[in-house]
Structure 1
């Protein structure tokens, strides 16, 4: 089967290890094959090519965490990306870490990882959801307790998780502010219904939830923008992980700093229902055919992306 896989690892030039070619499908006992109709890229794929979380002894490794397709019974499904993995210290791994990923014509997955795709959701839209959109949903709804909030700040909008958080929070009726250094991205943020501002800008109000994936450069701003009792929900630190925290502000404002990672199968099903109901639609940056995966990775690595990059089979 055709697949996009890591054939070598290079911390400095990760795309040199990306290969398109033929690899066999191996289906472990108790798993089922899925015909992949669409997949999407994540920065996790770039980090894998750098060798982060993917040692050389697991090569070649098919890349990709997200996919939607058809199961052996003809059902249209979305693949939940988290696999139980007793060999991993976390107790789980994502597709493409220990088990072959989703950027292939076919994928092997536990049947319990297959979530029904509603008829009103396209394969391309569904393929955007399992990692970035599910992470944003879990951060907002579960960890951030969105039902108790009126306002949200999203730092560094443009990438998959942050853009998903903007779209979800707006669609669920919250006042949303979002930062970006890029004027073009700020225009697109505004088109989603949020108030777009430059990083570090003063907001007209303090917010109840901050979605934080940038890290050290924005964390002080996140704290200063937080209302009493606000939740600062952190899912990453793409620009630096050693943030200074003024503990006086934490206790005086009774702030909650919450870590967040991925989400649950039930949350993915709930997210699919939101999409099917027309409440919100995934933001797709661009779509590529399988033969264009190299160009798709180059676009992701360049950083000039707003939303998700989708691969259609």
Structure 2
């Protein structure tokens, strides 16, 4: 049991059972129209271990993803899994006192994918503590703040994999990022610019275009003609931008898709695909080795994630409201130590 862990007594049919408890933010119901109404902040039992190699981490910081809002809407969760502690990303301290970054993908034989991310089958990171296999812990690099590192394991890792493993960015001179402003897209802009690529980024919001330009991109309105065709497109928007992605792609370019926030059934001009020899590649998340490479890249280059705001865990509801507003630029971080 962790130092300072609270306990609560519950009656069973035969006796009083005392279990450790902690404060957490969790989905207590589903509400597609108003996901914030399905959010509860309160006490939950400590997370259980699911093998001898599992450890409990004292969470230092976490960050929100749109996955959390989808969970509140009932996407990816079943009613019998409720209540489910939300959150995929975290930094914390392991039982030995070592600062760590939590890799959120857990082997899950019961899931058709064979894996799941925290808050799908196992309690997530928006709590005082989270339990994961020890193999899911990476050292927090020196000089990288816990609140910054907490942004990396989901959105930034997805962007890193889109650029490197799937997009072969080392073969690209120019990159287009659709829908800059969200966590993955903004990460892709910052990473591609730090890699020395010419970066173009789209946004409907003039203020967001100004901010993405400050990250090193040429910011344009959605659908605008680019000065050149690009070798790599980072696509998280979907139907609303996919035709523009196809038209902006140079011969033999890669269009890497990790989301479809504005429609998942775009019309695709197959003649353009085969005539230009384009590759359309899907991806999500990344591996522990890719997360280690991302952490090292950020530490060595002095690159820090784009943070919209940091909210103390005591007012975690504000973090969800901010994400749900659609006005975010970068990551919303929850500081559990504040």
- Please say whether Structure 1 and Structure 2 have the same fold, judged by a TM-score greater than 0.5: yes
Find the partner of 2:222 among 199, 218, 222: 199
How far residue 280 of structure 1 moved from its aligned partner, in angstroms, is: 1.7
SS of match in other structure, 1:23: strand
Tell me the equivalent position of 2:282.
259
Instruction: Find out whether 1:180 has 2:203 as its counterpart.
Output: yes
Instruction: Find out whether 1:44 has 2:67 as its counterpart.
Output: yes
Structure with greater Cα Rg:
2
- Is contact 1:300-1:309 (8 Å) kept? yes
- Is contact 1:171-1:279 (8 Å) kept? no
- Is contact 2:204-2:222 (8 Å) kept? yes
- Segments ≥4 residues shifted beyond 4 Å: none
SS of match in other structure, 1:217: coil
Tell me the equivalent position of 2:16.
none
How far residue 119 of structure 1 moved from its aligned partner, in angstroms, is: 1.3
Tell me the equivalent position of 1:114.
137
Instruction: Find out whether 1:96 has 2:116 as its counterpart.
Output: no
Instruction: Find out whether 1:9 has 2:36 as its counterpart.
Output: no
Instruction: Find out whether 1:270 has 2:267 as its counterpart.
Output: no
Distance in 2 separating the partners of 1:208 and 1:280: 23
SS of match in other structure, 1:277: helix
Instruction: Find out whether 1:156 has 2:187 as its counterpart.
Output: no
Instruction: Find out whether 1:167 has 2:190 as its counterpart.
Output: yes
How far residue 274 of structure 1 moved from its aligned partner, in angstroms, is: 1.1
Tell me the equivalent position of 1:34.
57
SS of match in other structure, 1:216: coil
- Is contact 1:285-1:305 (8 Å) kept? yes
How far residue 281 of structure 1 moved from its aligned partner, in angstroms, is: 1.1
Describe how 1:238-257 pairs up with structure 2 within 5 A: 238-257=261-280
How far residue 279 of structure 1 moved from its aligned partner, in angstroms, is: 4.2
- Is contact 1:118-1:276 (8 Å) kept? yes
SS of match in other structure, 1:177: strand
- Is contact 2:172-2:197 (8 Å) kept? yes
Distance in 1 separating the partners of 2:116 and 2:327: 28
Any gaps of 5 or more consecutive residues in structure 2?
Answer: 1-21
Task: Tell me the C-alpha RMSD between the 2 structures.
Answer: 0.7
Tell me the equivalent position of 2:45.
24
Describe how 1:284-299 pairs up with structure 2 within 5 A: 284-299=307-322
Tell me the equivalent position of 1:229.
252
Distance in 2 separating the partners of 1:190 and 1:10: 36
Distance in 2 separating the partners of 1:184 and 1:173: 24
Tell me the equivalent position of 2:3.
none
SS of match in other structure, 2:130: strand
Distance in 1 separating the partners of 2:196 and 2:239: 29
Distance in 2 separating the partners of 1:230 and 1:100: 39
Distance in 2 separating the partners of 1:13 and 1:283: 27
Q: How many residues end up aligned between the 2 structures? A: 313
How far residue 278 of structure 1 moved from its aligned partner, in angstroms, is: 2.9
Distance in 1 separating the partners of 2:217 and 2:35: 34
Higher relative CO (Cα under 8 Å, sequence separation at least 6) belongs to 1
Distance in 2 separating the partners of 1:88 and 1:192: 38
The more displaced of 240-249 and 168-177 is 240-249
Distance in 1 separating the partners of 2:209 and 2:315: 28
- Is contact 2:57-2:94 (8 Å) kept? yes
Distance in 1 separating the partners of 2:210 and 2:241: 20
